[in-house]
Every structure is written in C-alpha cells, then in structure tokens.
Amino acid sequence: MSASGRSSAHVAIVDYGLGNLFSVAQACRAVGLGSTITNDRPTIEHADAVILPGVGAFGDAMQTLRRLDLIGVLRDTPARGIPLIGICLGVQLLMTESQEFGRHQGLGLIDGEVIRLDQPQEQGRRLKVPQVGWNRIHPSGGGTERWSGTPLDGLHDGEFMYFVHSFVVVPEDQSVVSSTTTYGDVEFCSSVSSGRIFACQFHPERSGQRGLGVYTNLRQLVEAGAEERRTSA
C-alpha cells in the first residue's frame, strides 16, 4: 500500500466546498502522490494534474465554480495537456448539461447529459436511489484492453468499486465510455476516458485496495506526463 518513494509530481484537488476532499488527498498520499486541496487558480494552473471531486448538487457546484472563477482553468486543463480527473459529481460536471433540479450547464468538456437513475428494478422490487454501495465495472467494448494506459489499467472485468449517486452521465459519443455498470435493470456509464480526461462515477479512494490501484496508476500517468512536459520544454 505505501508508495515506493514520493513522487515529484503534484496534483491539485479542487476545493469548491463539496465532497470528500480529504479521502482523495489520503489516497494520493498513500500512493506517494503529492496533492494540495485548493481553489486558488494559479495553483490549479501549475499542477501536474487536476482532480475534480464532489458530492452534492450539480447546480450548486457549477454556481460555486463560477463564483470562484475556476470554470476557465478547468476547461483549459486537458487542452494544455494536463490530466483532468473527475470523481463522482466530478464526472457529471464534465458534461454539457444536467437535468438535476432544473437544467444546468456543465463544463461541456464531454458532449452528453446527466440524467437521474430511472426507477431501477430487480426481481420486481424497486431499488433505492441513490445507489449506495459496491458494484462491478465492466470495460466498454468487451475487453480490459480498453483500460490500458488509463487509470483503470490492471483492473479486472467486473472489479468492485464504491458508488454513491442518484444521477448518471450519458455521453453522446460512445467511444469515450470507459466502463459500464448495471444497477438493477439499468446499465449506465460508470467512467469516461478521452484524451487527458478520465472521470468515474465511483469513488476509487473508497474502494479498498483495488481502488487504491487506480491512484497508483494515476500517479504513474501524472509522472509520465510531467516528465514529458519537462523534456519537451
């Protein structure tokens, strides 16, 4: 579990008042990845990766991000070649828009919308919303090669991850879907991966040892990216 030495790379965990920032920071710490919890724009701009966590309402989140003047820097991050990692609400904020409590604009980094988990059923019984608990993720498109080179590298088809959510993302372009998960009779996209963007509906920092593996991968990707930028600078 402990990292093989501390990384020189450093990530920014965006603090917009919502979410389990501390557990994300603990997970980074556990794999030797330096992190800062911050909502300071320059700090975020200079980070080797940006993690957008979050728990709560979409509309409130976007409003706060707007107020903190972070929308621009977040939108720019992938374009600048810096990895942008979204967790839980974070994956939802990347989308074009959400239907939660009205219609809200998202960051628009991934075309698609956010809709409510719609009356999932299992053996005739209605399942509770939000989904709270462990569920399996499956690589979209069939094989785990889909996850190669992403933070999900090395995980098994059917790996258990921890979910807490009432809404799901529906990307327009299926090719960005990295994993799918089934809750009752509803199959939904549980993570997306596209260019420098990786975002998951589940909480890898709360998903035990296997979830921590996602952070280990993250560290490697972030270091590789930082190294690349250094050498090409």
Partner 1 sequence: MNIRIIPRLDIKGPNLVKGIHFEGLRVLGKPENFARHYFEQGADELIYMDAVASLYGRNSLAAIVERTSREIFIPLSVGGGLRSVDDIRAVLRAGADKVSLNTAAVARPELIREASRAFGSSTIVVSIEAIRRKDGTYEAYTDYGRQASGRNAVEWAVQAVELGAGELVVTSIDCEGTAHGYDLALTKLVAELVPVPVIASGGAGTAAHVCEVVRDGCADAVSLASLLHYNRIRHAGDAGDDFASEGNIEFLKGGATYSRTEDVSLRDIKRALQASGIDCRYEAVS
Question: Is the N-terminal amide bond of 151 cis, ω within 30° of 0?
Answer: no
Q: Is 127 in the site for partner 1 (CB under 8 A)?
A: yes
CA distances from 156 to 27, 39, 133, 136, 139 (A): 20, 35, 18, 10, 9
Instruction: Mark whether 203 is an active-site residue.
Output: yes
Instruction: Mark whether 172 is an active-site residue.
Output: no
Q: Is 27 in the site for partner 1 (CB under 8 A)?
A: yes
Q: Is 67 in the site for partner 1 (CB under 8 A)?
A: no
Q: Closest CB to partner 1 among 34 and 108?
A: 34
Beta strands 177-183 and 131-139, pairing class = antiparallel
Provide, rounded to whole angstroms, the least separation between the CB of residue 100 and partner 1. Answer: 12
Return the closest-CA partner of residue 18 out of 124, 89, 107: 89
Provide, rounded to whole angstroms, the least separation between the CB of residue 131 and partner 1. Answer: 8
Instruction: Mark whether 46 is an active-site residue.
Output: no
Window contacting partner 1 (CB under 8 A); options: 42-50, 53-61, 79-87, 188-196: 53-61
Bridge partners (DSSP) of residue 193 are 198
Beta strands 159-165 and 177-183, pairing class = unpaired
Angle, CA of 193, 196 and 201, to the nearest 5°: 40
Distance (Å, whole) CA 205 – CA 212 = 6
Window contacting partner 1 (CB under 8 A); options: 54-62, 106-114, 137-145, 173-181: 54-62
Return the closest-CA partner of residue 24 out of 196, 202, 197, 230: 202
Provide, rounded to whole angstroms, the least separation between the CB of residue 35 and partner 1. Answer: 14
Tokens 């529906």 appear where? 170
Which of 6, 22, 79, 228 lies at the binding interface for partner 1 (CB under 8 A)?
Answer: 22
Catalytic residue, from 104, 138, 165, 203: name it. 203
CB 189 within 8 A of CB 91: no
Window contacting partner 1 (CB under 8 A); options: 44-52, 124-132, 142-150, 168-176: 124-132
Q: Which residues bind partner 1 (CB under 8 A)?
A: 1, 18-20, 22-23, 26-27, 29-30, 55-57, 122, 127-135, 160, 162, 164, 183-184, 203, 205-209, 211-212
